[in-house]
Structure 1
Amino acid sequence: MGEVEAFSARRSKGCCHKTETTIVVTNKRVLLLSQRFHWGKPIYGAEESFHIEDLKFVSMSHIGLGQKEAQQTYNQLQAMLQARLDSKAGRHVSLFVAAAAAAAVAAAEAAAAVAAAAAAAAAAAAAAAAVQGLTPTRNLPAAAAAAAAAAAAAAAAAAAAAAAAAAAAAAAAAAAAAAAAAAAAAAAAAAAAAAAAAAAAAAAAAAAATATAAAAAAAAAAAAAAAAAAAAAAAAATAAAAACHQVKQ
């Protein structure tokens, strides 16, 4: 199953209806369990399961939550998914850095082995030179050839050691670049989260302003209706008074 997280969202409607929704998130799927109650008795249940990557295509309102609760649940799931993606990316970068470090260590060990081989070749060359000093004159060309071959082997070993050192330096540079990329990705994720929070706050403020404006408009309409009713009542009273005056005359 992997990591499992769960949280609940509740919605009450009046004094007798209530909807409880439980969201269970595993490493791959999201499970929504919705239960409706009437005076404390369960009357309806619903279940919805979908892949966590398809979260952006799923609406929460069809499982019994209101618009506000559905939006809050959606935001929570989105934040959870983003955190998991960031964690997965961090684990991948950590594995890459560890692999690069292991490669650097292996390259250093190879360089040490090549250096040891070069030292052994140098010792062999020295031994060949010592033998050359004790060799009769007729064997001098062969001894010289052996010494030249030993020197060439030592030069090749030194070149291999230099190449291994260059590979180790390249691996270390790659590890440093990967660490810098991981830091940049974390900073970008933090900036995106802050921007999302700011956008959510702005949306909430706009919704509150809209609700306030609607309430003010409703109050103005009610006041206008009351004024119209008062004017109509005054006109009716005036007409009644005029009729009464005519009757008296």
Structure 2
Amino acid sequence: MEVSKALERCGRAARRPALARLGVDDAALRRAVRGGVLQPERGLYALPTAPAGLVALLRNRELLTCSSAAGYHSLWSLPSAGPRHVYHRRAAAVRADAVHHAGLLLPPCANRPVAALADVLIHALRCLPFAESLVMVESAVSRGDMTVGFLQQRLPGKRNGKARAVLQWVDRGADSLLETLARTYFRQAGISVQPQAYLERVGYVDLLLDGWLVVELDGRHHAEWNQVKKDHRRNNESVLQGYTALRYYYSDVVYRPEAMVAQVLAVLGRRR
């Protein structure tokens, strides 16, 4: 494989062993450096367009993990402006502006400085707040890339009690992190929740509470006018059938869940 193509596959920067696994030999690397490929340090190669953050990771021999690796593994995640989460075999070598995670169960990703999915999730369960770790784990479980049992077996003892408590709320069937969070908050409040319930002439609704209260959760795509009209018609049909419908948005679920749950309890309380 050509050096430039191999570097592209690795995110535009890589160490020599990763490039060797892609079929790049030392002679090709020397030619590539003469042709304009950068060599920030011995054994490290980068295209001129390589992200500075990736080059810094490789120079310091760190691996992304926890929330910082969610994007690479295509996991749901909540916005975070916090420090980078990394693994390094020597904690003292981690930069001061990063969060260090110790211990790996599996080899890291082949072509990127990223921890394996299982290690990313275990680090997240031990490190992140409840909601952030829950959505990461559930997205992996829902698509079949991870099981709750696998994680539970690798989180023994009292020190992992917080992590195992998150796993008790992991479920399948949610289409988005909004559904995961809303379903969990409602169940924690003692409400019976049926995710992705099917109603005649309405279709699937996000959540059905106590068998009669429909809760729909709107992401960004619901701002499109055609989708808005479709949602309103679905709401009208559900009301005609005797259901009550409430709609909540990203900001409600992520930033104001207490107010959302209070409203739902108030509506349910009238029927009860």
TM over 0.5: no
User: Under a length normalisation based on structure 2, what TM-score does the superposition of the two structures give?
Assistant: 0.21
Judging by fraction of residues, say which structure has more helix: 1
Q: Which has the higher contact order (CA 8 A, sep 6+)?
A: 1
Q: Which of the pair has more CA radius of gyration?
A: 1
User: Under a length normalisation based on structure 1, what TM-score does the superposition of the two structures give?
Assistant: 0.23
